[in-house]
Structure 1
Amino acid sequence: MEISYWIVAALLALVYLYAGGQKIIQSKEQLQPMMGWVDTIPMPYVRAIGVLEVLGAVGLILPPLTGIAPWLAIAAAIGFVLIQIGGIVLHLSRGEARLIGINVVLLAAAVAVVWLGTVWL
């Protein structure tokens, strides 16, 4: 279980470090081609989502690695579950059902990390 946790958590952390970093650093115009939804959400919210994603990615790795408050990894994974549910709802509300594939995959990975974390941590 431990190896499974590290594999899935590391992949999930990399995805969220990248996506969150983009939301923090790039302008609305730069994000628009990849994330069409940024035109309907104020940029401070987009930036906040990015910060939460980066913090969550760190939360998946550092607490179990250091042994300090490892329950934070489970909390971070639950946060990712909520982010992906929000993403799915946003895409569906915009009539973009064909775009939720990545959200479903990330949701499943986050659920797997929650489960693996509760079993292992």
Structure 2
Amino acid sequence: MNLALWIAAGLLAVVALVGGVSKTFVPKAKLAATSGGEWTGEASAGFVKSLGVLELLAAVGLILPAVVGIAPVLVPVTAVCWVLLMVGAMITHLRHGSPKFMILNLVYLALAAFIAWGRFGPESFSA
């Protein structure tokens, strides 16, 4: 179970890192021209960059606290925050008629829920 949680956290951290880097450093107009990024055309550049920074923080929060052993409770807390972020992403993609991205966000949400459940419960770092 511990290995599965580490793998899930690693996968989700990579997803968060890629999404965070693209939203933070790629120009909004270029993001709006990509598949799944159409929603950025209606959002402010500051909002898109803020989401990118949140995703970068999530990538760090899913791995680093457990690796260094400092405040490892931040791992499941980050996973819960990711669940909330994915609910918002699913609503956004649904409003923009992108069901395949909504399903992808649902997969990310499920991974985050698994991490939160596992790290708050049976495989917590304090046990």
Q: TM-score, normalised by structure 2?
A: 0.89
Moved over 6 A (4+): none
Residue in 1 aligned with 2:65?
A: 63
Per-residue CA distance 1:73-106 (angstroms, 9 max, x = gap)? 1111111101100011112223333431111111
Matching of residue 13 in structure 1 with residue 13 in structure 2: yes
1:38 aligned partner: 40
Aligned residue pair count: 121
Larger helix percent: 1
Q: TM-score normalized by structure 1?
A: 0.93
What are the Cα deviations for residues 14-67 of structure 1, in whole angstroms up to 9, with x where unaligned? 011011110000001221113111011111011011101110110010111111
Give the 3 Å change call, closer, same or farther, for CA 62–98 of structure 1 in structure 2: closer
Instruction: Work out which of the residue numbers 86, 90, 93 in structure 1 matches 2:92.
Output: 90
Q: Which residue of 1 aligns with 2:4?
A: 4
For structure 2, list consecutive stretches of 5 or more residues without a partner in the other structure: none
Identity of aligned residues (%): 37
Distance in 1, Cα, partners of 2:15 & 2:6: 14
